[in-house]
């Protein structure tokens, strides 16, 4: 099992809100993954990349509305940030980092840190290296994607220089296995992994030849695949959500129609309509008026935020889209707060995070937007 540090600060020492440099208080864009997380104590936290590291805001009490922050966490050379959370509520930070090598060239690696408790410090950032020994190939490393298995094992996926998929994951002891080559080719967007409640993982990626899917044979086991499918997601728009026991639905923007699509292995893709996404979709499964629903949110190509909703695995019943009077950088995020309300977060064009909560009443609508201090 992973051992918790008695002083989990190390090189990622945080700065309190009273002493944060305001130039570092704003976000540079949205992070990838689940960058709005719910802690064990019922408080939400929001994370975003910033110049020289990342920034964090945290609810002062469960359910809000107050937030503390920004708290700045330095990470030199960070080019991409992905946030993932496990069932144990630990929050994992995966970054792609570039540094000057001893020979004067530029090298890239993947780094990892953990936040064990809401609002507290991070562990030290640990380098997970690079699947390539050749520095020039290593610079072609894609941004990391991640998922945490039901037993807490972290899985890190990256597009490698050959256009295939590489994986690094933990052993039960907490030590990391060597990089694994999961094969594949022509991947032209970030992979979309999902951890299932039963312990397995699945991964989907858009590729030049269509869609590639890898499935873990058993919890902790090897990955089968990739299996190729003649489907055409727009690169960078694929997301994954467990919509039934051991069933995954993948969502993306269809390259031909320009609208959203949902697909489960063994079924035909279902058109969901809407406008094309500029980045990936935020996805959440929740109850709305007593019905099991999937909620999607994305940034369309002109920067506006779109919200969609429909019955879980009932795409034929219709999917409804709403344009929100908000603009954002990167993809929005969705989560439930400590009172069970749906919360949406986005990074505004000015770098300030904004959040809105589900209003009481029928359907899914949001109360006024609240801008977090920066």
DSSP assignment of 162-173: TSSEEEEEB-TT
Rounded to whole angstroms, the Cα distance separating 222 from 215 reads 8
Measured in residues, the chain has a length of 374
Residue 232 domain-assigned (yes or no)? no
Q: What is the pLDDT of residue 374?
A: 63
User: Do residues 299 and 328 touch, judged by C-beta distance below 8 A?
Assistant: yes
Residue 121, pLDDT > 50, answer yes
Rounded to whole angstroms, the Cα distance separating 288 from 154 reads 31
User: Do residues 142 and 236 touch, judged by C-beta distance below 8 A?
Assistant: no
Residue 47, pLDDT > 80, answer yes
Q: Tell me the pLDDT tens digit for each residue of 159-210.
A: 999 999 999 999 888 899 999 999 999 999 899 999 999 999 999 999 999 9
| pTM attached to this predicted model | 0.92
Total number of domains in the chain: 1
Number of alpha carbons in the 13 Å side-chain half-sphere of residue 272: 34
Residue 163 domain-assigned (yes or no)? no
Segments forming the whole domain that contains residue 121: 1-129
Residue 53 domain-assigned (yes or no)? yes
Residue 59 domain-assigned (yes or no)? yes
Rounded to whole angstroms, the Cα distance separating 80 from 2 reads 25
Q: Which helix (H) or strand (E) holds 61?
A: none
Query: Among 263, 214, 216, which Cα is nearest to 237's?
Result: 263
Under 8 Å CB-to-CB from 212, ≥6 apart: which residues? 165, 184, 187, 204, 205, 206, 225, 226, 227, 228, 229
Residue 185 domain-assigned (yes or no)? no
Query: Among 38, 33, 149, 176, which Cα is nearest to 86's?
Result: 149
The number of helices, as runs of H, and strands, as runs of E, in the chain is 1, 29
Rounded to whole angstroms, the Cα distance separating 256 from 153 reads 37
Q: Tell me the pLDDT tens digit for each residue of 343-374.
A: 999 999 999 999 999 999 899 999 999 999 86
Q: Which helix (H) or strand (E) holds 179?
A: none
DSSP string, 131-150: S-SSHHHHTTPPPPEEEE-T
Residue 70 domain-assigned (yes or no)? yes
Residue 69 domain-assigned (yes or no)? yes
Residue 40 domain-assigned (yes or no)? yes
């Amino acid at each position: 099992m992973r051992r918790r540090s008695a002083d989990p600060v190390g090189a990622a020492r945080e700065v309190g809100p009273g002493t944060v440099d305001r130039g570092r208080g704003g976000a540079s864009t949205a992070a990838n993954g689940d960058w709005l997380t719910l802690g064990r104590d019922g408080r939400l936290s929001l994370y975003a990349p910033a110049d020289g590291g990342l920034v964090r805001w945290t609810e002062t009490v469960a359910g809000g509305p107050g937030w503390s922050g920004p708290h700045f966490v330095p990470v030199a050379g960070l080019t991409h940030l992905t946030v993932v959370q496990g069932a144990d509520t630990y929050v994992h930070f995966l970054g792609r980092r570039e540094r000057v090598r001893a020979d004067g060239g530029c090298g890239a690696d993947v780094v990892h840190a953990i936040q064990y408790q809401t609002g507290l410090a991070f562990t030290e950032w640990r380098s997970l290296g690079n699947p390539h020994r050749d520095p020039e190939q290593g610079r072609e490393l894609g941004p990391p994607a991640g998922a945490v298995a039901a037993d807490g094992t972290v899985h890190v996926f990256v597009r490698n220089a050959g256009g295939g998929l590489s994986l690094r994951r933990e052993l039960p002891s907490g030590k990391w296995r060597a990089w694994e080559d999961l094969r594949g080719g022509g991947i032209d967007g970030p992979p979309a992994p999902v951890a299932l409640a039963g312990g397995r993982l699945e991964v989907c990626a858009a590729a030049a030849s269509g869609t590639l899917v890898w499935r873990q044979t058993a919890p902790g086991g090897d990955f089968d695949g990739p299996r190729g499918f003649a489907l055409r997601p727009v690169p960078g728009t694929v997301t994954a959500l467990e919509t039934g026991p051991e069933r995954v639905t993948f969502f993306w923007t269809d390259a031909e129609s320009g609208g959203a699509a949902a697909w489960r292995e063994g079924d035909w893709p279902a058109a969901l309509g809407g406008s094309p996404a500029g980045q990936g979709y935020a996805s959440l499964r929740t109850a709305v008026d007593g019905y099991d629903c999937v909620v999607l949110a994305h940034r369309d190509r002109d920067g506006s935020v779109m919200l969609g909703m429909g019955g879980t695995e009932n795409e034929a019943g219709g999917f409804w889209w709403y344009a929100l009077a908000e603009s954002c950088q990167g993809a929005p995020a969705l989560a439930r707060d400590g009172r069970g309300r749906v919360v949406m977060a986005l990074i505004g064009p000015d770098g300030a995070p904004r959040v809105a909560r589900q209003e009481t009443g029928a359907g899914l609508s949001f109360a006024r937007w609240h801008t977090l201090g920066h």
